[in-house]
Structure 1
Amino acid sequence: MLQSSTTESVRTADHASLSRRVTVSPGMCSGGSLIFGRIGDWTWEAVAAASGTNVHAARTAEGHPVYLSFYYYRVRGGRTVHPHGLAFGDELRVDSRVFQFGSQSALTLHRLAPAELDLPGGPLEPSEVHDEPHPDCLYVENVNRWIARSRPGSNQGLFEAAPPDFAYAGLPRMPSVYSPRTLVGRARQAGSFHPEVPQGLVPAGPDHTCEYVLDVNRDLNGAGLVYFAAYFSIFDTALLSLWRSLGRGDEHFLRRRVVDQKLGYFGNADPGAVFTVSVRRWHREADPRIEIADMAMRDTATGELLAVTSIELDLGAASGTP
């Protein structure tokens, strides 16, 4: 059992699962990416417990550092628990389960529920996450890949390399119908999760583009790589730029409700990099309060695709929104 002032973790009978009771602390909630970073920590903890690998100090057989990088991150917000709706002191139950995703990857599911919510026993099932999500819960899907540097001190040319003690064979298998492999591969090839206009939606305005200079004070992690949660912040910075160009207020931005967000990670960057972020936006024809922002982030100097995201937002009862 792992304990701290804010989190208590308990290993369940299923060796691939962890359950936690969490009190939301200041470092976990905001209008930005704090909660995504914390869930990422839980992913590392779950993979470490399920595979027997020290994910914080993993190395190749030759002794070179390897990192459990994020390749795909999906969030589905609930009516009660959603990414930007958490407050100090909220009590949550967090259930996590790790699945096989090849010899150099892992897929982890999380459910964040109000602590008092009556939930079925047993491990978290993919069918619940994808087919029958509880309307009050937030669900997260993470795909992580082991990577290593091909050149010391450079974030270019990263390649897949798993530590020799990564014990994945005993993990449960993800049914192929729920695998995001094809979805993410298509998004990487097309530079978008929505190469075509989504069904039932119509364009909500012209495309928007902005530049972002990599912030070495905020965006790099302790290994010198662009931190996975910083991608959320960079995309949110571009979305806020669009928001303001439409005459929408910052308070309205902070009240946005994320219904569904997908983020694919396809590259990293070195200090000094500048990114170009493009944004397309649609809204539901029958209900303009539901919007989708589709964004791509590229290295401005090379044009390399670094990440794509799709964010479905419920603007709620806000009125007078362009």
Structure 2
Amino acid sequence: MAAPPPVMTGATPLVRDITVTPAMCGYNSLFVGQVGDWTWQTVSELCGTDAFTARDETGAPTYLAFYYYHLRGSAEMHLRRFTFGDRLRVLSAAYGYGSESVLTLHRIAMADTPAARARELDPVEFYERPRADCLYVETFNRWVTRSVARSNRDLVRSTPVDFRHEHLPTLPERYSPRAVYHRARTARTFDEDFGGASGGGEVGGGAGGGELVVDGHRSTYRVDPTRDLNGVGLVYFAAYFSIVDAAVWRLWQFLGRGEDDYLAMRITDERLCYLGNADAGTTLGLTSRLRRRPSGAEVVDVVVEEHGTGRLIAVATLQVGAA
């Protein structure tokens, strides 16, 4: 009987020393995309397969699709913190979730800070005791392939023939993202303090509840073939962040806020669950909700659906400020 994989409270990560270039920063999804590349590179290096050219047992291309993406930062270290020439130390490690999935953690610190001296990626720090001077990213990916040629609907699971995962450490069950993204699918939010009420007043049963400011703000977005598709014709995972950003910007405008307010946002936590893909030209319906915490932080939910059918495409929850 084979021994189970080790349960790790820490892992020896891949270490990257990065200089931030214009192509990986800004008020957009460029840095999100860069971290996604680090996920694919990490899996390629640790799991025996080339994620960029992987094929399943039928010879069909299979893609390491993003299913859940979590950014966790602070008012000091957040997604829009980075600019030209910043030097970063990035630690990346992969964790086993069977033959069809893999979880990757990234810990990002400025190279000239004490945080950059770490050589171990500790999940306890990541999930329970995050440092204010680090940005943390968790990605959960599934191998998928097309079930119908040239269509982005009905993607199916399909593992590369050379994908190796048995040697990867596993995380304690309390850190599994499964319960987290299950809530996103069923409740249309990642916020555990939100009870689903509509209208004004206090929502949620915990200390994190707050005033429901806007509920059900709606807009649309048409998948743009000039900017949203990746090299294999799927809606690029980072484009989902831009689509969510478009919904947030329209919500800000609805509230009477201007460009300066939008650009001043510090997103201290953002979670996104990917539940479907779409073809170029598809119209998406975006439904947004805003709550204000007692701390002053604002929480925004964005639900992305296929317009006309209601097919759920993605759910995102952002916390702006106060972390």
The TM-score with structure 1 as length reference comes to 0.90
Q: By how many angstroms is 1:101 displaced?
A: 1.4
Q: Which moved more, 1:250-259 or 1:35-44?
A: 250-259
C-alpha separation in 1, matches of 2:305 and 2:160: 30
| Secondary structure of residue in 2 paired with 1:233 | helix
Aligned to 2:304: 297
**Displacement after TM superposition at 1:171 (Å):** 0.5
**C-alpha distance in structure 1 between counterparts of 2:137 and 2:243, whole Å:** 20
Deviations 1:141-163 (A, max 9, x none): 00000001101101111011111
Separation (CA, whole Å) in 2 of partners of 1:127 and 1:162: 30
In structure 1, C-alpha distance between the alignment counterparts of 2:308 and 2:103, rounded to whole Å: 33
Aligned counterpart, 2:254: 245
Q: Identify the residue that residue 288 of structure 2 maps to in structure 1.
A: 279
Q: Which residue of 1 aligns with 2:39?
A: 43
What pairs up with 1:179-190 in 2 under 5 angstroms?
179-190=176-187
- How much has 1:186 moved relative to structure 2? 2.4
Contact 2:99 2:159 in 1 (8 A): yes
- Rounded to whole Å, the distance in 1 between the matches of 2:17 and 2:75 is 20
Cα distance in 1 between the residues matched to 2:73 and 2:216? 26
- What percent identity do the matched residue pairs reach? 43
Distance in structure 2 (CA, Å) of the matches to 1:131 and 1:152: 43
From 100, 121, 133, give the equivalent of 2:130.
133
Q: Distance in 1 between matches of 2:94 and 2:281?
A: 36
Query: How far, CA to CA, are the matches of 2:13 and 2:166 in structure 1?
Result: 15
Secondary structure, counterpart of 1:47 in structure 2: helix
1:27 Cα deviation from its structure 2 partner: 0.9
Distance of 2:103 and 2:114 partners within structure 1: 26
In 2, distance between residues paired with 1:25 and 1:112?
A: 15
1:167 is matched with which residue: 144, 151, 164? Answer: 164
**Unaligned residue ranges in structure 2 (runs of 5+):** 1-9, 196-202
Structure 1's consecutive aligned runs of 4 or more residues displaced over 4 angstroms after TM superposition are none
For residues 126 and 82 of structure 1, the distance between their equivalents in structure 2, rounded to whole angstroms, comes to: 19
1:112-127 → structure 2 map (5 Å cutoff): 112-119=108-115, 121-127=118-124
Q: How many residues align?
A: 301
Query: Is contact 2:12-2:121 (8 Å) kept?
Result: no
1:107 is matched with which residue? 103
Deviations 1:11-56 (A, max 9, x none): xxx9962111111110111111111000000000001111011100
Report deviation, 1:65.
0.5
Runs (5+) with no aligned partner, structure 1: 1-13, 317-322
For the pair 1:176 / 2:180, whether they are aligned, the reply is no
1:174 deviates by 1.1
Residues 160, 206 of structure 1: alpha-carbon distance in 2 compared, 3 angstrom cutoff: closer
- The aligned counterpart of 2:213 is 204
Distance 1:33 1:189, change over 3 A: same
Contact preservation (8 Å) 1:72, 1:262: yes
2:67 equivalent in structure 1? 71
CA RMSD of superposed structures (Å): 1.7
2:5 is matched with none
Query: Which of 113-122 and 298-307 deviates more?
Result: 113-122
2:51 and 2:63 in contact (8 A); partners too = yes
Q: Which amino acid aligns with 2:154?
A: G
> Which structure exhibits the higher relative contact order, with contacts defined as CA atoms closer than 8 Å and separated by 6 or more residues?
2
The answer (yes or no) to whether the contact 1:17–1:46 under 8 Å persists in 2 is no
CA distance in 2, matches of 1:92, 1:301: 44
Other structure's SS at 1:297 match? strand
Residue of structure 1 equivalent to 2:54: 58
